[in-house]
Structure 1
Amino acid sequence: MAAPRRSVGKPTSDRLPCNTTSFQKKSRSKLVSIPGTRPSVQNGQLIVSTGVTSLDYVIGGGLAVGTLLLIEEDRYDSYSRMLLKYFLAEGVVCGHELYVASALDHCNDILQELPAPILDDIASPKTVEDQAKSCDPESQEAMKIAWRYQHLPKVQTALASSSRFGHYYDVSKTMDPEICQAARCHGFYLPEHSTAVTSPTTTGPMSETYSSLLNNLQEVIHREGFDGSVPQTKSRNILRIGLHSLGSALWGDDLCCRENPSHGRALTTFLYGLRAMLRSSLSVAVVTVPSHLIQVRVCAVH
């Protein structure tokens, strides 16, 4: 009778386990975690809130980082200006940095008009002291519901303001000055920039006023570390850009006041440059445009 054959292969200890395969599941790329942001449920892109929850719902959940939103101004600049304030106020509450450009009002004056958030958890010295007092066992009143609930601590249902996405605001009140002063804001007030001229004399596609604004904004993005194409060592943050009433005569744009404007395509050229700049940065912009002043002239130019 022949002896039983033994396996000639590798020893059992050297063999690969049965559940080991060369296929590995591809993991998702790690998104940047920044307060006041969240990934879109549609495409996973990082989005921020406009400050108006109903507007966030209309545009797909929020405003995508690296994009800009154009708002047509109403005739008296009431509703469009309020939307811009909502956008900036949301940035202050979330701890984002701001960039405000205007030819009419100083950036500090605009910040003083921001609406007050309807929250009890805004980080301020007064609220921290109040919360410390409320947690003191001596100051807590005895509960009258049942004896077993008397020594339970109070539950804080409100989340931290910076971790929430979207807030509500009270337009009848202005934001606390302490909160506004804590926010970091970069301003571009046109009368303070001597390099910008109100009557453009260059023959390029964009006026010197818009060129000065675009160069200043690009400098802030690179200096403060908002350029997504360059590795950064410090923690990431979002730059919220608010540009007020671009295309008006206050910016030196003669499209709305001359039959033959010298820079008929200055505004569109600026918007193309701004969009290209935002595409590779951790920035998001809201621009208000007085379309009722320039729509007739635009048709005439084209």
Structure 2
Amino acid sequence: MSFKKRAVVSNSVPRASSSTLSGSTFAFKAKKNIPIGTRLSPYNGQLLISTGVPSLDDILCGGIPLGSLFLIFEDRNTDYAKLLLKYFITEGLAHENRVLVASADEEPQTLVKGCMWLSCDDDDMDNVRKEGSDNYGMKKEERNHDKNDENDGREEEGEGDKMKIAWRYKGLKKLGAQVPVPPSIQNKKISLDKLPSSQEDQSTQPFCHTFDLTKRIPEKIINAASLSFIDVIEVLNADESNLYEKLFNEIKKILKEDNKQASLSDEQATSQNVLRIAIQSVASPMWPIAASSQEVYRFFHALRGLLRSTNNVAVMTIPAHLYIHSAGGVSPSISSIPFMKRIAHVCDAVVGIESFAGSPQTSNSIYTSQYNGLFHVHKLPTINSLLAPATKLSILSGGGGDQLGFKLRRKRFSIEKFHLPPEGGVGERRTMASGGDDGEVENAHK
């Protein structure tokens, strides 16, 4: 039995080039544009948007997934949760996203007007063109003040200062180090010939902008933005029942007017904008009707189902009186309250703020000198994954740790790993003698 090589039948049709296969499945298709202000997750390819706070984005493994519901537990007697909501709104306005604001504690328009703005805006760019300054015409005293503010009132170690404990510790990361702040224009040397234009490519835009709490959003930005407002008190003018059902219908109506995904072509759908929904203090005493827990739960469940198949994200805050025990004392854990446990279960991500100023318990001065309070992570988003990506990729919440603290300084809000100062650590304090001469240098624990 003999074996012969099978003859290959030659095809008379010439091999098609890559240009002729443009309509076939083998052709390389152009990369579709993702929505403005989003980026792909390195873990599961989920589209993410920024909260406006770099450290909070790190806790959520890059940002909030599109189509998710994010809940923030407010703190008693403080507005830190409201500040996070403003960061979320301002980040959307900086990316020219559509923003929907609903509130009953104050007018939604007032909430937006009180938001912070970019550390470097168009007015600063005009100053650069006029003065030719690399620091946007800032005075020397102002720049020094900003540096002191970034150092949190602590002296920075010089380049020559090194640890005297052991040489091998010099390469270790400093305890409590922050998440690196995204590069902003203000801390770079600016070339006057290459100033960013208004039609800059989306790929060059920062995912998370750098905001300055001392600045307020300009009126022209608010007028040009795509904003929608829902005053919860006005929703009940026609009918004083079914508040949450009417609020859900109002949100659904706005989504239908803005999205219209079914009638869009592929090119329009790829460039579709993101809608950010911000609801302040759900079920607070300022809401006209004290709804039952079932109505609140149905509202959360229906809103989550509405968001899941869209390019929209909702961030809501809930007041402290709903999850803090009436006997006094703060309850960081929500597992002991069945109603809040159900609410947290229906949300995709849940965090809580516990400030030292709002706590009925006396806080040690060691804590208050370093932090403004504790930051609790109750639930991390697990969309398109079995395990929360943040447990593997996050710097702050990696490994499931919940030892986080937050700081509010003059220009920024940040979240860091909570830790105590080293035991035996001392700081020098110079006192003046009663006679006017310099007294001795005392060592005092911070």
Q: Shared fold (TM-score greater than 0.5)?
A: yes
Letter in 1 for 2:62: G
The yes-or-no answer on 1:72 pairing with 2:108 is no
Report deviation, 1:164: 1.8
Aligned length: 252
Q: Which residue of 1 is the match for residue 282 of structure 2?
A: 246
Report deviation, 1:63: 0.5
8 Å CA contact 1:190–1:196 kept in 2: the answer is no
Letter in 2 for 1:284: V
Q: Structure 2: how far apart are the matches of 1:75 and 1:14?
A: 77
Residue of 244, 247, 250 corresponding to 1:213: 247
Residue of 171, 175, 182 corresponding to 2:224: 182
Report deviation, 1:185: 0.8
8 Å CA contact 1:247–1:294 kept in 2: the answer is no
Alignment deviations for residues 141-179 of structure 1 (CA, whole Å, 9 cap, x no partner)? xxxxxxxxxxx9734489959632001211122111111
Q: Structure 1: how far apart are the matches of 2:313 and 2:30?
A: 22
Q: Structure 1: how far apart are the matches of 2:216 and 2:201?
A: 17
Q: 1:15 to 1:32 in 2, by over 3 A?
A: closer
Consecutive unaligned residues of structure 1, counting only runs of 5 or more, are: 1-6, 18-23, 136-151, 201-207, 256-262
The yes-or-no answer on 1:232 pairing with 2:264 is yes
Q: Which residue of 1 is the match for residue 45 of structure 2?
A: 44
Alignment deviations for residues 73-121 of structure 1 (CA, whole Å, 9 cap, x no partner)? 010241000000000000111000110000121111111101021124x
Partner of 2:52, secondary structure, is coil
Structural RMSD (CA):
3.5
Letter in 2 for 1:274: L
Alignment deviations for residues 221-249 of structure 1 (CA, whole Å, 9 cap, x no partner)? 01112x55x24255510111000000212
State how 1:1-302 maps to structure 2 within 5 Å: 10=9, 13=12, 32-120=33-121, 122=122, 154-156=193-195, 160=200, 163-193=205-235, 194-197=237-240, 200=241, 208-225=242-259, 228=261, 230-233=262-265, 234=268, 235-254=271-290, 263-294=292-323, 296=325, 299=337
Partner of 2:307, secondary structure, is helix
Q: 1:161 to 1:249 in 2, by over 3 A?
A: farther
Partner of 2:76, secondary structure, is coil
Alignment deviations for residues 204-235 of structure 1 (CA, whole Å, 9 cap, x no partner)? xxxx111111000000001112x55x242555
Report deviation, 1:276: 0.2
Partner of 2:56, secondary structure, is helix
Partner of 1:172, secondary structure, is coil
Partner of 1:251, secondary structure, is coil
Identity of aligned residues (%): 29
Partner of 1:242, secondary structure, is strand
8 Å CA contact 1:195–1:212 kept in 2: the answer is no
8 Å CA contact 2:276–2:313 kept in 1: the answer is yes
Letter in 1 for 2:248: L
Q: Structure 1: how far apart are the matches of 2:208 and 2:324?
A: 33
8 Å CA contact 2:98–2:275 kept in 1: the answer is yes
8 Å CA contact 2:97–2:276 kept in 1: the answer is yes
The two structures have a TM-score, normalised by structure 2, of 0.50
